[in-house]
Every structure is written in structure tokens, then in C-alpha cells.
């Protein structure tokens, strides 16, 4: 014990030297970092006495909710059937009858190329009548005309796409008639027996008269009751038919009615003359289907490509721009775009440079003058049978040079 106590007494305390590691204790907080550094707590400047009295900081005006919905419901077949009115259902039933007439003409036209060609025209008329009924039924719903983010111009552009498909039908129908005509022409160059059999295998006079009468009656009913082809014919604007009555001024009705009346005269001809006239009428109908189909395809394609080619095209647009630049308040037209959305709506976007010193009242009168000019020249005016609506957007910049 004594020795151990002596050893403990002899121990001297060791003083710690300089620490080679300079560690410092850090406190890590798990609370989220606040971004209100430099701000007063529990106080907002807009509620202070200064802002209340002098209205330095004001709340922005409340914005109205967006007018355009994201999308609108597209009706199903059951919903479309329930929404149909009595007159619309009668029109639908007539479309089925018109289609039955076209099928009857096609099956009764064996032995006559002209009657086969006429059946193609009647099929096209029946399809156009069905499109008219579909447009009227879809017009019962909001999605047809109201704009949305998904369909900025509604579903009315679907009618343009359908018209383009009908123009393709006209072109393929013309090809089909040409192939039939060539086939019968080559058969006539064969043996004498085949030629003799072909000459005497024509349709009877009663069948020809019945076919022509059915085509004429069905076309007149669809033209007066459904006004089919009205919008497409308005876009085409065939000038050499404009002086004719309302039905004959429509190129589609003109073709069907005129060729039906011509085919009704075939039984009055001799057998040899009947054969050549039958082929000639088929060739003329095929050429007419080609010409009308190409014109319809161009008119519909321009609308699908957001361009404008109706009512004079670029010549009328150029004259309108020159007339706008001749206005005293307009220095120059910097940019101008004209395009057609669908059959009933066109748009004009213009950027103008106006003279300095115009107030809001003068600018408003200038806007009205330009809008009326475009509507009256391109939309044919509200009182002249025109129904195409033009939406004119004007951007006016002050010319600093003047």
C-alpha cells in the first residue's frame, strides 16, 4: 500500500498540447429553409396604414376564367339519334331512298355505258345528301360550332375533310368509267359475232326512260329539300353557270339533270347511232367527273392547308390591299394573311402602319371601314346572298417616320 501511494504521489499531471485537428461542432437543422430573409415577420406592407391610405400597392384585377374549354364531348350514334328532330329524320329516310335509287340505276344499267356513268353521278348525289343530313344533326350539339382547345374551330372542318374524300370518289369514278369504256371499245374490235352481240345487248327503251326519270326526280328532291352540294358549289364558283337558275347553276345538279335528259333520248336513235352515242356520253361524263373532281379537290385542299382561293383568289385580295393602302390614315400594309377555315368562316390578319395623331375614335372608324371592305368584297356582303363570315384582326402600329 505504501509503495502504491508513493507511486501515485510522484505522478505529475500532463498539460494538453495544441490540438492538430481544428474541429468545430455544427448543428444541422432538419426544418425547411425559409425564404423570407430580410422581411418583417407578421406584417405585410399592403395592409399597413400607408398603403391603405395612398393605395400604393394594389391587388391585380381578378382574371375571368378561360372562355375556351379544353374539349367538348363528341356525340355518339345513340345521342345523335335522340337529338334528331322530325324533319331531320325525314331527311335521313330520304337519303336512304336516294341511295336505293342509285343502286337501282346501277343494277338496271347493264348493257348501257351511259347509264352506268349516270349511276356514278347519282351515287355522288346520294353521298352529298347524307353529308348534309349529318351536318344538320351534328349542328344540334355544342361541339360542332363552339371552339375548344382541342378543336379551335369546332368540328366544322370535318365537313371540309369529307368534301375532299368525295372529290377523290369523283376522280376514281372517272377512272372506272374510262376503264369500262375502253373495255367495250376493245371488245367491239374483236370478232363479228361479239360485235353483233354487243350491238343488240343494249337496255330496253322502257328501262332507259325509267332510269332517267328516277335520276331526275331524286336529284330534284335532294336539291330542293336538302340543298346538297350548296356549300361545295359555293366554294367552286363556276362562273359560266351563274346566269342559269338556282338548281342548274350548281355544277353537280347540272351534270346529273342534263345527262339524265340526254340518256332518255337514246331509245329514239338507231342501233348503230345508239352504240356510239352511248360510248360518247360515258366518255363525256367521265371527263366531267375528272374536271369537277380536280376542282373540288383543289378547293378543299386550300381550306385544309389554311389558304384562300375563293371568289377571285389572289387578284381580288391584291385589289383589296391596294384599296386599304390608298386610305388616308394608312401608311402601308406590313403583313396580310387571308385564309379560309371552313365553308362558313374566313379569317383576315393584317398588320398596318398608320399615321401619327390618330386617336381611338379614328382608329375604330378605320377598323370598321377595313372590316366592311373585306366582308363586302370577299364575303359578298350580307344583303347579296353571301353567307361567308369574315373575322378581321387588325394590328396597327404608329408610323414614326411620318
Q: Give the three-class secondary structure for 333.
A: strand
Structure confidence by residue, pLDDT tens digits, 18-36: 555 554 554 444 445 454 5
Question: In this structure, is residue 194 part of a structural domain?
Answer: yes
Q: Determine, yes or no, domain membership for 16.
A: no
Percent of the chain at pLDDT exceeding 90: 27
pLDDT band for position 118 (50/70/90)? Answer: very high
For 200-213, write each residue's pLDDT tens digit. Answer: 456 677 888 899 99
Q: What whole-number distance in Å separates Cα of residue 302 and Cα of residue 341?
A: 9
Q: Tell which wins on pLDDT, 327 or 138.
A: 138
Q: What is the CATH number of the domain that holds 392?
A: 3.30.70.1350
Least Cα distance to 343 among 163, 214, 102, 109 occurs for: 163
Residue 348 covered by a domain: yes
Question: Do both 280 and 384 map to the same domain?
Answer: no
Predicted local confidence at residue 78, as pLDDT: 93
Q: Is residue 350 part of a domain?
A: yes
Res. 5: pLDDT tops 50: no
What are the C-alpha distances in Å from 45 to residues 34, 55, 61, 308? 19, 11, 19, 56
- Residue 249: pLDDT band with limits 50, 70, 90: confident
Same domain, 326 and 248: no
Looking at residue 66, what is its pLDDT?
A: 60
Q: Which domain holds residue 321?
A: 314-398
Over residues 318-344, the mean pLDDT reads 87
- Residues 364 and 269 placed together within one structural domain of the fold: no
Dist CA 106 CA 102 (whole Å): 6
Please, what is the angle between helix 251-263 and helix 113-138, to 10°?
A: 150
What is the pLDDT at residue 2? 47
Q: Give the count of domains, the chain.
A: 2
Question: Is this model's pTM higher than 0.85 or not?
Answer: no
Q: Name the more confident of 60 and 57.
A: 60
**E-state strands within 117-211:** none
Asked if 122 and 218 touch (Cβ cutoff 8 Å), the reply is yes
The answer to whether residue 277 sits within a structural domain is yes
Helices (H), 226-346: 230-236, 251-263, 271-304, 314-325
Q: How many angstroms separate the CA atoms of 218 and 99, rounded?
A: 10
Same-domain pairing of 269 and 354: no
* Residue 197 and residue 325 in one domain: no
Q: Are 282 and 113 in contact (CB under 8 A)?
A: yes
Same domain, 259 and 167: yes
In a domain, 324, yes or no: yes
- 300 & 318 share domain: no
- Residue predicted with more confidence, 61 or 394: 394
Residues 296 and 368 in one domain: no
Residues contacting 121, CB < 8 A, separation 6+: 215, 252, 255, 256, 259, 285, 289
Same domain for 388 and 251: no
Residue 200 falls within a domain, yes or no?
yes
Other CB atoms within 10 Å distance of the CB of residue 128:
24
Q: Which residue has the higher pLDDT, 264 or 241?
A: 264
Q: Do both 206 and 151 map to the same domain? A: yes
* Residue 199, domain member (yes or no): yes
Q: pLDDT tens digits for 192-247?
A: 444 444 444 566 778 888 999 999 999 999 988 888 887 777 777 666 666 677 77
| Structure confidence at residue 137 (pLDDT) | 93
CB atoms within 10 A of CB 90: 13
Is 144 in the same domain as 245?
yes
> Among the listed ranges 47-51, 330-334, 337-341, 378-382, which one has the minimum average pLDDT value?
47-51
Residues 322 and 362 in one domain: yes
Bridge partners of 395, per DSSP, are 351
The residue out of 304, 322, 337 marking a domain boundary is 304
Amino acid at each position: 500500500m505504501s509503495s502504491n501511494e508513493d507511486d501515485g504521489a510522484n505522478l505529475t499531471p500532463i498539460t494538453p498540447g495544441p490540438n492538430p485537428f481544428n474541429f468545430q461542432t455544427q448543428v444541422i437543422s432538419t426544418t425547411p429553409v425559409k425564404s423570407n430573409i430580410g422581411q418583417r415577420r407578421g406584417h405585410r406592407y399592403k395592409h399597413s396604414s400607408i398603403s391603405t391610405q395612398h393605395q400604393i400597392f394594389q391587388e391585380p384585377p381578378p382574371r375571368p376564367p378561360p372562355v375556351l374549354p379544353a374539349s367538348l364531348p363528341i356525340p355518339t350514334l345513340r345521342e345523335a339519334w335522340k337529338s334528331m328532330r322530325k324533319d331531320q329524320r325525314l331527311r335521313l329516310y330520304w337519303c336512304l331512298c336516294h341511295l336505293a335509287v342509285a343502286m337501282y340505276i346501277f343494277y338496271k344499267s347493264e348493257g348501257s355505258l351511259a347509264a352506268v356513268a349516270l349511276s356514278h353521278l347519282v351515287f355522288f348525289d346520294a353521298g352529298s345528301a347524307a353529308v348534309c343530313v349529318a351536318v344538320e344533326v351534328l349542328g344540334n350539339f355544342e361541339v360542332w360550332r363552339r371552339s375548344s382547345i382541342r378543336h379551335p374551330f369546332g368540328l366544322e372542318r370535318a365537313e371540309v375533310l369529307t368534301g375532299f374524300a368525295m372529290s377523290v370518289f369523283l376522280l376514281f369514278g372517272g377512272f372506272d368509267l374510262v376503264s369500262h369504256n375502253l373495255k367495250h371499245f376493245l371488245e367491239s374490235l374483236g370478232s363479228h359475232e361479239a360485235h353483233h352481240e354487243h350491238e343488240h345487248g343494249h337496255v330496253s327503251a322502257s328501262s332507259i326512260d325509267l332510269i332517267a326519270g328516277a335520276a331526275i326526280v331524286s336529284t330534284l328532291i335532294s336539291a330542293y329539300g336538302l340543298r346538297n352540294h350548296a356549300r361545295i358549289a359555293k366554294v367552286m364558283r363556276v362562273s359560266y353557270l351563274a346566269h342559269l337558275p338556282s338548281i342548274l347553276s350548281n355544277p353537280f345538279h347540272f351534270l346529273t339533270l342534263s345527262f339524265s335528259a340526254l340518256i332518255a333520248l337514246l331509245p329514239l336513235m338507231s342501233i348503230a347511232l345508239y352504240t356510239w352515242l352511248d360510248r360518247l356520253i360515258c366518255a363525256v361524263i367521265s371527263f366531267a367527273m375528272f374536271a369537277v373532281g380536280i376542282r373540288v379537290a383543289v378547293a378543299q385542299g386550300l381550306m385544309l392547308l389554311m389558304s384562300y382561293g375563293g371568289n377571285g383568289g389572289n387578284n381580288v385580295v391584291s385589289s383589296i390591299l391596294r384599296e386599304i393602302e390608298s386610305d388616308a390614315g394608312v401608311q402601308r400594309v406590313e403583313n396580310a394573311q387571308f385564309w379560309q377555315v371552313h365553308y362558313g368562316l374566313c379569317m383576315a390578319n393584317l398588320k398596318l402602319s398608320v399615321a401619327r395623331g390618330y386617336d381611338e375614335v379614328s382608329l375604330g372608324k378605320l377598323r370598321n371601314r377595313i372590316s366592311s371592305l373585306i366582308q363586302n368584297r370577299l364575303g359578298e356582303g350580307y344583303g347579296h346572298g353571301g353567307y361567308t363570315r369574315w373575322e378581321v384582326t387588325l394590328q396597327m402600329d404608329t408610323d414614326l417616320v411620318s
